[in-house]
Chains A and B, each alone.
Chain A
Amino acid sequence: MQYTKPLARLIEEFQKLPGIGPKSAQRMAFQILKMPSAEVQKFCDAILEAKEKIKYCRTCFNMSSEDPCEICTDTRRDKHMICVISETKDLIALERTREYKGKYHVLQGLISPLDGITPNDLRIKELLERLDKENPEEVILALNPSVEGEATSLYLSRLIKPLGIKVTRIAFGLPAGADLEYADEVTLARALEGRREIL
């Protein structure tokens, strides 16, 4: 059976979202139709408001409704430390730890030669300008422990080290609570490489 035109359009629009196939899109569309009109209106408003108000901070390229963002304007944060991350979702993950009190810089991707993503496609030029202006003591590279993350880290450290700024990288290794027996060889080798003396 063919869907009626507005329903078909709604299903089609839902399918544009990542990870949503035809069946999930159909379920979501039917749920929307079941909801009271006021709830649907609230849902539409939330989408439009987010789209209209959220933009990229011109300093750190984090997604925020303010420009500069809340983190960049927070005077309690340590301006001598900049943590470089690939996506805003990584910033949220780091903020959840409540351990890091410095500032951030979002690259908006990683160098990926196989996908044709070059350093020019990332916010590296802006990072260098920022380092020149703010002159921090340390740059922490908190990038994914993937080959693309490695390539980006190596490239960044090659550019930042000559500026006389300390460049560090977050540690690799076993997740807390994991069993050594089930750890893969690559992770275990990295954990051994990054071992440290017990104080």
Chain B
Amino acid sequence: MANYKAQAINLKSYNLGESDKIMVMYSREHGLIRCVAKGVKKSSSSLGGRMQLIVANNLLLAKGRNLDIVCQAEVIESFSSIRNDMTKLIYSFYCAELINNFGLENDTNSKIIYDLSFEALKNISIFSSLEEILWTVIRFKLRLMEAVGYAIELNQCVRCNDIEHNYSSYHFFCPESGGVICGKCEEKANKTLEIDKRHISIFKDAQIYDFPEDNSNFDKTLLYSCFNILKEYVSAKSDKKLKTPEMIETLCC
């Protein structure tokens, strides 16, 4: 039986039998992986803590007939501060759900997506204010969507490519098309969201910087509005219905 190593973040788990779990992880080397962690529900298991959700591990896995088996695990980062704060937990769950939905097995971009995910979870665990957490999640969503081939268009109308307009004249975002749209195209679009130059500025900054260049952008209402615009976009591109946004509205607003 061949063994292999991987660095992976635990995203989701399902109970299997008496004390085993099926783990869904995103690895730096192989993208999305599903494997069995044996005996993790027993208090004597040395894998128990390491197989908790939102923990990054160095793994040694054994190739199995259907699912691979976790042989050894060593914690790289447990993002421990996330577990002491409800808001941080819910936004981390949201990130985990996005990685699980958009991640692929043997993904060619796995290294980029793993690093993005690790950075986002690390920042959520370090940051203390809601504004900083929202900024991190917005930045993560934009860069994740770019990595999976769904980058948003902010410089020209995504429908008619009318590049004569200045970006400040765009007042609508079309989640289905994935970008800003001009007034003419807005009439034909199914669903649009209102957007202004402050949103566009945040999206552009978040694609580049860890923190906004201009601190006046650190407004909770504006950041939350940006988060919601991207939430609609991500939902439009996702095959499965996302479950965590509802929880964000119930517990974090």
Given contact pairs A147-B89, A155-B251, A158-B86, A113 touches B48 in the complex (Cβ within 8 A): no
Interface presence of A7 (CB below 8 A): no
Q: Bound complex: CA of A178 vs CA of B49, how far in Å?
A: 14
B interface residues, how many (CB within 8 angstroms): 37
On whether the beta carbons of B49 and A187 are closer than 8 Å, the reply is yes
What residues on A are CB-neighbors of B250 within 8 Å?
A: 118-120
On whether the beta carbons of B46 and A151 are closer than 8 Å, the reply is no
Of the listed stretches B50-58, B152-160, B222-230, chain A binds B50-58
Given contact pairs A114-B244, A189-B78, A147 touches B52 in the complex (Cβ within 8 A): yes
Question: What's the minimum C-beta distance from B247 to chain A, rounded to whole angstroms?
Answer: 4
User: Which residue from A119, A120, A182 sits with its C-beta under 8 Å from B46?
Assistant: A182
User: Which residue from A114, A120, A146, A158 sits with its C-beta under 8 Å from B52?
Assistant: A146
Question: What's the minimum C-beta distance from A196 to chain B, rounded to whole angstroms?
Answer: 18
Given contact pairs A19-B18, A114-B243, A186-B78, A150 touches B89 in the complex (Cβ within 8 A): yes
Q: Mark A83-112, 1 if CB is under 8 A from B, else 0.
A: 000000000000000000000000000010
**Segment 113-152 of B: residues with Cβ below 8 Å from A:** none
Q: Bound complex: CA of A178 vs CA of B48, how far in Å?
A: 13
Q: Mark B29-57, 1 if CB is under 8 A from A, else 0.
A: 00000000000000110111110111100
Question: What's the minimum C-beta distance from B234 to chain A, rounded to whole angstroms?
Answer: 15
On whether the beta carbons of B86 and A113 are closer than 8 Å, the reply is no
Interface presence of A175 (CB below 8 A): yes
Q: Is the interface of A mostly helix, strand, loop or mixed?
A: helix
Interface presence of B97 (CB below 8 A): yes
Q: Bound complex: CA of A182 vs CA of B97, how far in Å?
A: 31
What residues on B are CB-neighbors of A155 within 8 Å?
A: 86, 251
On whether the beta carbons of A115 and B243 are closer than 8 Å, the reply is yes
Interface presence of B71 (CB below 8 A): no
Interface presence of B28 (CB below 8 A): no
* Listed residue (B53, B73, B96) with the most chain A CB atoms within 10 angstroms of its CB: B53
* Listed residue (A178, A186, A187) with the most chain B CB atoms within 10 angstroms of its CB: A186
Q: How large is the interface on A (under 10, 10 to 19, 20 to 34, 35 or more residues)?
A: 20 to 34
Question: What's the minimum C-beta distance from B44 to chain A, rounded to whole angstroms?
Answer: 6
What residues on A are CB-neighbors of B97 within 8 Å?
A: 113-114
On whether the beta carbons of B50 and A189 are closer than 8 Å, the reply is no
| B83 nearest in chain A by CB position | A150
Interface presence of B218 (CB below 8 A): no
* Listed residue (A146, A175, A182) with the most chain B CB atoms within 10 angstroms of its CB: A146
| B94 nearest in chain A by CB position | A113
Given contact pairs A150-B83, A185-B49, A186-B52, A113 touches B243 in the complex (Cβ within 8 A): yes
On whether the beta carbons of A116 and B246 are closer than 8 Å, the reply is yes
Question: What's the minimum C-beta distance from A157 to chain B, rounded to whole angstroms?
Answer: 9
* Listed residue (B48, B55, B74, B97) with the most chain A CB atoms within 10 angstroms of its CB: B48
On whether the beta carbons of B86 and A154 are closer than 8 Å, the reply is yes
Interface presence of A183 (CB below 8 A): yes
User: Which residue from B53, B75, B85 sits with its C-beta under 8 Å from A154?
Assistant: B85
Q: Which residues of B contact A (CB under 8 A)?
A: 11-12, 17-18, 43-44, 46-50, 52-55, 73-75, 78, 80, 83-86, 89-90, 93-94, 96-97, 100, 243-244, 246-247, 250-251
A sample of 7 more A-B contacts (CB under 8 A), given A158-B86, A183-B46, is A113-B244, A113-B247, A116-B246, A118-B250, A119-B251, A154-B84, A186-B49
